[in-house]
Amino acid sequence: MLQRALGRLPSAVEAGAIVFYAFDLLYLDGRDVRRLPLRERRRLLEPLVAGRGGAVRLSEEVQADGDAFFRVACEHGLEGIIAKHVEKPYRSGRGEWWQKITCKRRDSFVVVGFEPSTVPGHLGRLLLAARRGDELVYVGGCGTGWSHDLSRELRNLLEGIATKSPAVGLRRKAAVFVEPLLIAEVEYRAWTEDGKLRHASFKGIREREDDAAVFVLPF
């Protein structure tokens, strides 16, 4: 996967835009150090890369209250944290000694269209928008979070408010645009650099009457 990505971005590689962050050490001068506790492996790793710039850098560790640090990470818009047991040896794969804890946010977005599923009569993906002043701005979509039955119900509901005039400046061949009447509550992890929702999942339809405030983008 990484090799394919690098193959598509030769200019970025040549320009030094890709950085490898080292966070663990498994072998040192031919010696297998995986049985050492993480604390000791980090002690061996740090002199090798600490203070270096360029393409290989040290991923700093933080020893702090896990819950508090996680909240700070989410408040700063980070994807999440990795929590590890400093006294344990290295084990391949995931386990109880380390956990990836991701930040999840919930906000409301206007449904401006959908893409049909390959299953006839069902929903493939919702197209969503946020507000910027008096305008609606496309912010991506979500294609998970509904059951088989709900997928059909949503498809029928959206087809009833279909329009040929998109509420956002978006042209997509497979899309069916709808009147901006429905508000979807969506859970997501973060925003991409181009202003789209990352890992978005549908959580329900909100009513305007229950003060479902649509997410407002900064100018």
Residues 6+ apart with CB under 8 A from 199: 188, 189, 190
Q: Identify whether residues 146 and 193 lie together within a single domain.
A: yes
Q: pLDDT, tens digit, for every residue of 203-212?
A: 999 866 555 6
Query: Tokens 């408010």 belong to which residue?
Result: 161
Q: Is residue 154 predicted with pLDDT exceeding 90?
A: yes
Pair 119, 174 in one domain: yes
From the DSSP assignment, how many helices (H) and strands (E) are in the chain? 5, 14
Check whether residue 74 and residue 121 sit in a common domain.
no
Residue 129 · residue 197 · CB < 8 Å = no
Residue 51 placed within a domain = yes
Residue 219 lies in a domain: no
Q: Which of 1-5, 27-31, 180-184 has the lowest mean pLDDT?
A: 1-5
- Paired residues of 162 in beta bridges: 178
Residue 59: name the closest of 41, 35, 36 by CA. Answer: 41
Tell me the HSE value of 78 on the side-chain side, using a 13 A CA sphere: 14
Full domain range(s) for residue 53: 13-102
The pLDDT assigned to 219 comes to 67
> Do 71 and 133 fall into the same domain?
no
Give me the number of domains the chain comprises.
2
Q: What is the pTM of this model?
A: 0.68
Three-state SS for 209?
helix
Among residues 102, 118, 146, which one ends one of the domains? Answer: 102
List, for residues 78-111, the tens digit of each pLDDT value.
888 889 999 999 988 877 888 888 888 999 999 9
